[in-house]
Amino acid sequence: MNLRETSFGEFLKPSQIIFELKSKDKLEAIEELLDSLVKQKLITNKNLTLTRIIDRENLESTALGHGIAVPHARVDTEGQIAVAVGRSAEGIDFEAPDQKPVYLIILVIWNPSIPGLFNHLFAGLARFLIRPENRDRLFNARDKNELYSVLSEIQFSFPREDKIINRASLLKKLQDIEIRKRKAPKEMQKELQKQSDLIREELDASLLARFDLLMDRYGYAVAEVIDGVCQSCNLNISTQMASAIEGSNDIYVCENCGKYLISPRKKEKPAKEKEEKEKKEEKGKAGKERIEKSETEKIAAKAEKAKKAKASTKKKK
């Protein structure tokens, strides 16, 4: 497979599209898509794959905003990559950054034997989906074949760019994890390393190499841009770059100090607050049990939420 000139049509067949998902809930929808991949023998280990996907979702929702989510996991697949697409007319709560429901789920499972594959694929998807006219065509597709033909158009070409699309929050999260890891007690190291590895799997090797270099040298690698000023070197960045960064989720590089530049996240979401709270708790009584407990609580809370949602839809009917 020549990665330089690929289209989404190469990975996707109409049989891998569910035009109307039965599921109304995030976890169920992901399972429904996985089941279809199992049926088509595109993946073999459903449970492992599901666990990986959920671990990744817990780290940060894979919803991109504008009604689209790209849940994903790196697992040994039969082939190099397995994708499934599901559409939901009603929309599914995916804890999206813009808090909008998700109408289109693009599930990607990729093989660890091809490093960087997902990063390329993701960049191609993000580049296509950022355009409102493309999203409209996807959302307005009248049937599976029409949806398939729009998705097939997505090109994966990999030009070198001065920005990395839609990965800023992920890189910031990696930095937070690496900083926490330095001070964390032994029993938390494993969990933090797991989270760090999960993020690293998705990012380009050259990006990570520079990130690690900056972390080693300065203790941090990512700086926010506030009012056009790099918060690391306190110098103004070009107005062109400043306006491009503002409010975006793209990563740039400061021409003065070489740090990765990102836009500060807008109003923090409740999920973020919860995370902050958890962080504080960890500082008090740190321990692996605590993390595990909070994970279990999260899953329990989700199951409860799903139940309620089901009950309420039943009531409506």
Residues with catalytic annotation? Answer: 72
> Quick one: which of 80, 256, 296, 313 contacts Zn ion (CB under 5 A)?
256
Distance CA 11, CA 212 (A): 33
Please tell me the number of Cα atoms within 13 Å of 104 on its side-chain side. 22
How far, in whole angstroms, is CA 83 from its chain's centroid? 15
Interface characters, 212-241, with Zn ion (x: CB under 5 A): ------------------x-xx--------
Q: Which is nearer to Zn ion, 123 or 254 (CB)?
A: 254
- The encoded tokens of residue 104 equal 């289109």
Q: Under the criterion CB under 5 A, does residue 253 sit at the interface with Zn ion? A: no
CB nearer to Zn ion: give 124 or 258. Answer: 258
Comparing CB distances to Zn ion, the nearer of 3 and 253 is: 253
Orientation angle between helical segments 144-152 and 132-139, nearest 10 degrees: 150
Among 257, 286, 306, 309, which residue interacts with Zn ion (rule: CB under 5 A)?
A: 257
Minimum distance between the CB of residue 261 and Zn ion, rounded to whole angstroms?
A: 7
Binding residues among 165-184 for Zn ion as defined by CB under 5 A: none
Q: Which stretch, 85-93, 121-129, 175-183, 255-263, contacts Zn ion (CB under 5 A)?
A: 255-263
User: CB-wise, 74 or 259, nearer to Zn ion?
Assistant: 259
CA distances from 205 to 4, 108, 160 (A): 17, 20, 14
CB of 246 to Zn ion, least distance (A): 16
Residues that bind Zn ion (CB under 5 A): 230, 232-233, 254, 256-257
